[in-house]
């Protein structure tokens, strides 16, 4: 097993990575917990034993499940099941489950401890770590949420063996992001290959360690932690504009992030922050992870700009995370005209 420590003083916790890691959960649950509620989804065929008596609650599939109504239902289930503040919630699943269960845990009894048992690549390399929980509104993704650190994270790589191809793509979109945030992960011959050639346990733990270091430095996204949103501003706009039954395209989160990375590179080039070879490097990294690089047909620049302007990272201006001379960093005050021009250059209708 590989253990990555998230150093947050009294809120510090371990991320345990490896085959069969979920069986270590009983050792992680605090001795004063008398019971647990396991939150998962239909079809998540992962046996989990928290070491105390537990009930199981199911939440719906997909981003559409991330609503305040689902959180209310979860909290009412917690109450009916007698969950006390000293007890624990265990989220078993991907990023949707960890987002919903973590948010419900953060508000029930004003905060109960929770553990993430991450069963998808996306959750293991990113979503389950760092304590950002939340749900969506029709106006945008993750606009309601909280910072509530898990008491522990389990990344059992055995659970990845049954993932469909699109779920692997979703996780690799976040891995492509980490290739630009970690040292030595952009080899000149095949960018991103340094990460992909590692055994899966090490791929997960390398990404987890990068995120843990950033979260330790800036837990509540006051500055440095914003780099973890690299590629996400456009990604969230693409996802938000596809909410509901009238969705015009089907993108997994990591696929949207991959497109967002290419967009961010082109925007950085337009602003004079990076040169053309660096833009090409972004495209080569994304393609190296076998991910999309183009904005879906039918997207309009004005609509995407509207979603980006209300993104949860905006500070009454257009703030993007962009590459530059000092590496990847937040850049406030980006002009709307530059954003629109970059989107139209990538094939968006005005």
Say which CATH number the domain at 67 has: 3.40.50.1970
> What is the pTM (predicted TM-score) of this model?
0.92
Give the span between the Cα atoms of 325 and 187, in whole angstroms.
19
Co-location of 248 and 197 in the same domain? yes
Q: With 80 as the cut, is the pLDDT of residue 231 above it? A: yes
Co-location of 103 and 252 in the same domain? no
Q: With 90 as the cut, is the pLDDT of residue 310 above it? A: no
Using CB atoms within 10 A of its CB, is residue 110 exposed (0-12), middle (13-18) or buried (19+)? exposed
Per-residue confidence band for 187, with pLDDT thresholds at 50, 70 and 90: low
- What pLDDT sits at residue 155? 98
Q: Of 162, 193, 224, which one is at a domain's C-terminal end?
A: 162
Q: Give residue 26's domain range.
A: 2-162
Co-location of 334 and 209 in the same domain? yes
Using CB atoms within 10 A of its CB, is residue 200 exposed (0-12), middle (13-18) or buried (19+)? middle
What average pLDDT does the segment 7-32 reach? 97
Does a structural domain hold residue 151?
yes
Co-location of 263 and 291 in the same domain? yes
Co-location of 257 and 176 in the same domain? yes
- What pLDDT sits at residue 245? 61
Q: Is the Cα torsion angle 146, 182, 280, 254 positive or negative in sign?
A: negative
Give the chain's end-to-end CA distance (angstroms, integer): 51
Indicate the SS3 state at residue 55: strand
Co-location of 62 and 182 in the same domain? no
Per-residue confidence band for 177, with pLDDT thresholds at 50, 70 and 90: very high
Co-location of 150 and 10 in the same domain? yes
Does a structural domain hold residue 350?
no
Does a structural domain hold residue 290?
yes
Does a structural domain hold residue 322?
yes
Q: Residue 135's beta-bridge partner residues?
A: 144
- What pLDDT sits at residue 48? 96
- What pLDDT sits at residue 190? 55
Give the span between the Cα atoms of 20 and 128, in whole angstroms.
17
Co-location of 63 and 123 in the same domain? yes
Residues with catalytic annotation? 110, 132, 174, 211, 221, 225, 229, 232, 236, 253
Q: Of 162, 183, 198, which one is at a domain's C-terminal end?
A: 162
Does a structural domain hold residue 187?
yes
Co-location of 288 and 336 in the same domain? yes
**List of residues 6+ apart from 183 with CB closer than 8 A:** none
Co-location of 198 and 337 in the same domain? yes
Q: With 80 as the cut, is the pLDDT of residue 191 above it? A: no
Give the span between the Cα atoms of 290 and 276, in whole angstroms.
21
Residue with more model confidence, 311 or 83: 83
Residue with more model confidence, 184 or 279: 279
Residue with more model confidence, 313 or 295: 295
**List of residues 6+ apart from 162 with CB closer than 8 A:** 45
The mean of the pLDDT values for the chain is: 93
Q: Of 137, 162, 187, which one is at a domain's C-terminal end?
A: 162
**List of residues 6+ apart from 242 with CB closer than 8 A:** 248, 249, 250, 251
Co-location of 153 and 189 in the same domain? no
Decide if 172 contacts 290 (C-beta within 8 A).
yes
Co-location of 241 and 329 in the same domain? yes
* Number of domain units in the chain: 2
Summarize pLDDT for 87-133 with one digit per residue, the tens: 999 999 999 999 999 999 999 999 999 999 999 999 999 999 999 99
Does a structural domain hold residue 126?
yes
Indicate the SS3 state at residue 263: helix
Q: Give me the CATH number covering residue 194.
A: 1.20.1090.10
- What pLDDT sits at residue 1? 95
Q: With 80 as the cut, is the pLDDT of residue 3 above it? A: yes
């Amino acid at each position: 097993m590989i253990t990555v420590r998230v150093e947050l003083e009294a809120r510090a916790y371990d991320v345990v990575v490896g085959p069969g890691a979920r069986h270590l959960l009983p050792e992680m649950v605090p001795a004063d917990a008398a019971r647990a509620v396991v939150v998962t989804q239909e079809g998540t065929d992962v046996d989990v034993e928290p070491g105390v008596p537990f009930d199981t609650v199911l939440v719906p599939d997909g981003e559409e499940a991330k609503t305040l109504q689902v959180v209310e239902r979860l909290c009412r289930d917690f109450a009916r099941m007698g969950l006390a503040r000293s007890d624990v919630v265990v989220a078993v699943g991907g990023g949707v489950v960890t987002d919903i269960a973590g948010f419900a845990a953060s508000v029930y009894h004003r905060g109960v401890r929770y553990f993430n048992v991450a069963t998808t690549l996306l959750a293991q390399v990113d979503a389950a770590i760092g304590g950002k929980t939340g749900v969506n509104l029709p106006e945008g993704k993750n606009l309601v949420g909280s910072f509530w650190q898990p008491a522990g994270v389990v990344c059992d790589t055995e659970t990845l063996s049954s993932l469909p191809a699109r779920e692997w793509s979703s996780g690799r979109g976040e891995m492509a992001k980490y290739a630009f945030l970690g040292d030595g992960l952009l080899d000149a011959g095949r960018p991103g290959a340094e990460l992909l050639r590692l055994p899966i346990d090490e791929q997960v733990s390398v990404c987890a360690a990068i995120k843990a270091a950033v979260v330790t430095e800036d837990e509540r996204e006051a500055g440095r932690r914003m780099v973890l949103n690299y590629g996400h501003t456009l990604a969230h706009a693409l996802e938000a504009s596809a909410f509901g039954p009238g969705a015009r395209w089907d993108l997994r989160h990591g696929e949207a992030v991959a497109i967002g990375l290419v967009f961010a590179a082109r925007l950085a080039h337009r602003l004079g922050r990076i040169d053309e070879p660096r833009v090409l490097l972004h495209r080569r990294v994304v393609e190296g992870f076998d991910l999309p690089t183009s904005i879906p047909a039918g997207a309009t620049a004005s609509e995407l700009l509207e979603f980006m302007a209300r993104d949860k990272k905006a500070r009454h201006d257009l703030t993007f995370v962009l590459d530059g001379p000092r590496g990847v960093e937040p850049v406030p005050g980006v002009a709307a005209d530059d954003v629109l021009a970059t989107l139209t250059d990538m094939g968006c209708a005005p």
